[in-house]
Structure 1
Amino acid sequence: MTAAVWAVLAILAFAGIVVALGASRLHRLSHRVGSFPCQARAGGNPSVAFTLGIAHYAVGRIEWYRCWSLSPRAARTWLRDRLVVTGRVPLDHAGQSDQYLVRCRYDGADFELSMSAAAYAGLASWLEAAPPGRRDLVL
């Protein structure tokens, strides 16, 4: 075989490994207890596209991971006592009958999340469930 053929095979093998690692990461994240699909974008600009992601409840915080990434770390982390839901809008008009646009504020920065109605119910319950002064003990 020529060097060009070996180079093409090496590139294909590398691409296959990257795809397998990404699929494995996405599978692990989406099958963790307390995980739910959740898209995010900066608030105030509806022309900006949502970024696909998976959110996960941790002790006293929500960790949000990008879907199309190989990073083992969360792209965003929101602590429960600093996260405020400022509003929600059902997305029925966009043909998404079970989706909500959830407007949030964290440390003075506004952002928006798009999630299912069940995920929103879980988020609202999680935010309201912690007793004052004991927020780090509730999952």
Structure 2
Amino acid sequence: MELVTALVAFGAVALVLLAAVGLYVSRQSTLSGRVGSFPCSLRDQAGGSWVGGIAQYSASRLLWWRQVSFAPRAAHSWSRAELTLLERIELAEVDHRGQPLLLVRCAHQGETFQLTMSAPACAGLVSWLEAGPRPVGRVI
């Protein structure tokens, strides 16, 4: 009887782990398959640790999801009109595709943070910001 109970418990744990892995893989493929999405790590200016994630452009916001999370919503969302790129620094690293990585310092509503992304992703981010509508009152 104890053997049956142990096998049932092991099966239940294996089923829960399999479901968690399946949800994670499904979430990653959904996020990375969206138009305008790219791998991007985030660190707040307080000097915290880097957190891997996926960023995506929407019409008016830059959305960022944690790589390891089951949350259905983005962990961070920055308004296109208020997002400013302060500095780009080329790193001595490359991403999984061999593209050079950049560290991008950003500001949004008085808070600063850092993103790391590939050079092509940074070029896309700059283009997305520049292509946005001009806020009223900021154009001379």
TM-score per shorter chain, which class?
A: 0.7 to 0.9
Q: Which residue of 1 aligns with 2:13?
A: 11
What are the equivalent positions in structure 2 for 1:1-139 lying under 5 Å apart?
A: 2-45=4-47, 48-92=48-92, 95-96=93-94, 98-133=100-135
CA distance in 2, matches of 1:107, 1:133: 15
**SS where residue 55 of structure 2 aligns?**
strand
1:13 partner letter: L
Q: TM-score, normalised by structure 2?
A: 0.87
Alignment gaps of 5+ in structure 1: 135-139
Count of residues paired in the alignment: 130
Runs of 4 or more, structure 1, over 6 Å off, are none
**SS where residue 2 of structure 1 aligns?**
helix
Deviation at 1:133, TM superposition (A): 3.6
How large is the Cα RMSD of the aligned pairs? 1.5
Determine if contact 2:81/2:135 at 8 Å carries over to the other structure: no
Q: Report sequence identity in percent.
A: 42
CA distance in 1, matches of 2:108, 2:125: 15
CA distance in 1, matches of 2:80, 2:25: 29
**SS where residue 112 of structure 1 aligns?**
strand
Deviation at 1:9, TM superposition (A): 0.7
Determine if contact 2:56/2:64 at 8 Å carries over to the other structure: yes
**SS where residue 51 of structure 2 aligns?**
coil
Alignment gaps of 5+ in structure 2: none
**SS where residue 65 of structure 2 aligns?**
strand
CA distance in 1, matches of 2:36, 2:79: 15
